[in-house]
């Protein structure tokens, strides 16, 4: 994100390097997981790196007490401190998932950080499976953030299945959707191509890998295959199921051009007057 | 659609046979195209058959005069008469695309017909490319229709790229989205899998095949690959690029079960209070 005075409307910009770090967090070992990230990215050359959902704690909580114990207040979080330090050191931005404690409630959150510190927080709205027992749903909507002329929107994992989320981020002007995930269902990677095409945005899905089997719970197998998709649905890369750091150069300005034919614009052609509020309708 | 007293809420139903007829209309030859359909389906055993967009006229109009000449009023349309006769003869329902003239305006429409006649009309809202020069956009919204306990929603071709359309049809209660198409871009077939998954509905995309090259215009190549997708995103069949009639048995009740995990329901988990009106937002 080196281009300082980018013009939002003409979309003139320079290429930036965006990347993903796909790995397997160890459940409950925040310090170990954070150190693994900072070690793995110590020499990274990138402008923006996305990490998986709940990448500091692991995924499969067993009790509310465990959630309470492993959630961190952003202002005093070891993970946030270390990742901001890394952002400063590498002069880059990061999006990562963590268990957030805030005023006695607990959220499955994604943070957007840079050399300047914490820029934005998104608290996951659509909770998956047993997350409903352990986290409060975020009710702050779907925020986007701008740094150096690049507009970044955040969503987390299961949010993908609700087309409204990526739509809202795109309507707000996101060039890049950063999407930390812990995917167990097989649908998402393909669907994120649709999200990129229908909204004309880059999507960066950082999934985790490995299996979690915690006492009394079914084993969960995470599907990896983290990917970067461009605004026309081209998969710039898709990882396998191994730990990998990978970076690719993109031009965020490509997401400003919503024309998919000479006569069709993805956003201008929308007909909100026909869509109503997209609430349940009886016939 | 033989099951008479289906219970909408419990979703108890019987299997029905749905199918697609993928073919190449001859431009401007309505009688010939209609005869080709009625000949090809003369012995069909199905409950619901979907045909491509503008399947009676062909696609690439050159002038408003041509549109005027080839559009038909539904009440006096040769195509509608013949297809309703076919529905009576085979005791089935049909969805097909035609150029509709109505009160001096012209629409790219899809009709839903059965033994009882014309049941519903949808006038395409999102016009693709030069359709904008030849047709008026439909402003009647996105209707669904119910016959014998099966709820059918209609959308046409380019509507696929606007996630709002399939969403509205599903929110209204569509079990099956019938989707006549004349696809030239490569994205849609894969994206319709996402539409089925995110809404938990069957989608039946009937695309045309062949090429149209009309004087003074670029040649258009249509991609075929018509398909039926179930509510979990399984492709029940996808055709090639040859003329084909194909039927498959489905249970519409599968679209009533929106649970994708024990704790997640595609519709109940939506958060309309966070979505707003999905209009353009400034940040």
* pLDDT tens profile B34-57: 999 999 999 999 999 999 999 999
- Residue B50 forms part of a structural domain: yes
Q: What is the DSSP letter of A7?
A: B
pLDDT band at B280 (very low <50, low <70, confident <90, very high): low
Q: Touching check for A262 and chain B: CB below 8 Å?
A: yes
pLDDT band at B3 (very low <50, low <70, confident <90, very high): very low
Q: What is the pTM of this model?
A: 0.94
- Residue-wise pLDDT for B254-264, tens only, equals 999 999 999 99
Read off φ and ψ for residue A229, nearest 5 degrees. Answer: -120, 140
Total number of domains constituting chain A: 1
Q: For the domain that residue B209 is a member of, what is the CATH number?
A: 3.60.110.10
Provide ipTM, 2 decimals.
Answer: 0.93
Is the pLDDT at A86 greater than 60? The verdict is: yes
Q: What is the mean pLDDT of residues A174-192?
A: 96
- Residue B8 forms part of a structural domain: no
Beta-carbon contacts of residue A55 (< 8 Å; ≥ 6 apart):
A23, A25, A33, A37, A96, A97, A98, A180, A208
Question: Has B178 been annotated as catalytic?
Answer: no
- Residue B275 forms part of a structural domain: no
Total Cβ atoms within 10 A of residue A156: 30
Is the pLDDT at A5 greater than 80? The verdict is: no
- Residue B267 forms part of a structural domain: no
Shortest Cα distance from A112 to chain B (angstroms)? 17
Share of chain B above pLDDT 90, in %: 90
- Residue-wise pLDDT for B176-204, tens only, equals 999 999 999 889 999 999 999 999 999 99
- Rounded CA-CA distance B248/A149 in Å is 51
Q: Touching check for A169 and chain B: CB below 8 Å?
A: no
**Which B residues, 118 through 157, put their C-beta within 8 Å of a C-beta on chain A?**
125-126, 128-130, 132, 137, 139, 141-142, 144, 146, 151
Q: Three-state SS for A214?
A: coil
- Residue A281 forms part of a structural domain: no
Q: Three-state SS for B156?
A: coil
- Residue B127 forms part of a structural domain: yes
Q: Exactly one of B55, B87, B124, B178 is catalytic; which is it?
A: B124
- Residue B86 forms part of a structural domain: yes
- Tell me which residue range forms the domain holding A229: 16-258
The predicted structure's pLDDT at residue B33: 98
- Residue-wise pLDDT for A90-149, tens only, equals 999 999 999 999 999 999 999 999 999 999 999 999 999 999 999 999 999 999 999 999
Shortest Cα distance from B35 to chain A (angstroms)? 34
- Residue B146 forms part of a structural domain: yes
Considering only the beta carbons, identify the residue of A164, A187, A263 that sits closest to B130. Answer: A263
């Amino acid at each position: 994100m080196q281009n300082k005075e980018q013009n939002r409307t003409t979309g003139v910009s320079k290429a930036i390097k965006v990347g993903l770090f796909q790995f397997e967090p160890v459940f409950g070992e925040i310090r170990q997981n954070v150190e693994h990230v900072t070690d793995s990215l110590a020499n990274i050359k990138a402008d923006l790196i996305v990490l998986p959902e709940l990448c500091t704690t692991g995924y499969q909580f067993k009790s509310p007490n465990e959630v309470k114990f492993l959630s961190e207040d952003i202002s005093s979080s070891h993970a946030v401190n270390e990742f901001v330090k890394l952002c400063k050191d590498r002069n880059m931005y990061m999006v990562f998932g963590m268990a957030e404690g805030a005023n006695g409630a607990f959220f499955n959150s994604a943070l957007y950080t840079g050399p300047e510190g914490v820029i934005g927080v998104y608290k996951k709205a659509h909770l998956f499976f047993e997350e409903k027992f352990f986290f409060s749903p975020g009710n702050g909507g779907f925020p986007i953030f701008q740094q150096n002329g690049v507009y970044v929107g955040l969503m987390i994992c299961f949010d993908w299945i609700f087309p409204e989320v990526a739509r809202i981020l795109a309507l707000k002007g996101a060039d890049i959707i950063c999407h930390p995930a812990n995917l167990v269902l097989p649908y998402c990677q393909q669907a994120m191509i649709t999200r990129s095409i229908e909204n004309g945005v880059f999507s960066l899905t950082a999934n985790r890998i490995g299996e979690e089997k915690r006492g009394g719970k079914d084993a969960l197998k995470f599907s990896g295959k983290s990917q970067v998709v461009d605004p026309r649905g081209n998969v710039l890369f898709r990882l396998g199921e191994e730990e990998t750091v990978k970076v690719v150069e993109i031009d965020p300005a490509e997401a400003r051009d919503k024309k998919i034919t000479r006569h069709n614009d993805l956003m201008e052609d929308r007909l909100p007057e026909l869509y109503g509020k997209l609430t349940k309708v009886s016939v």
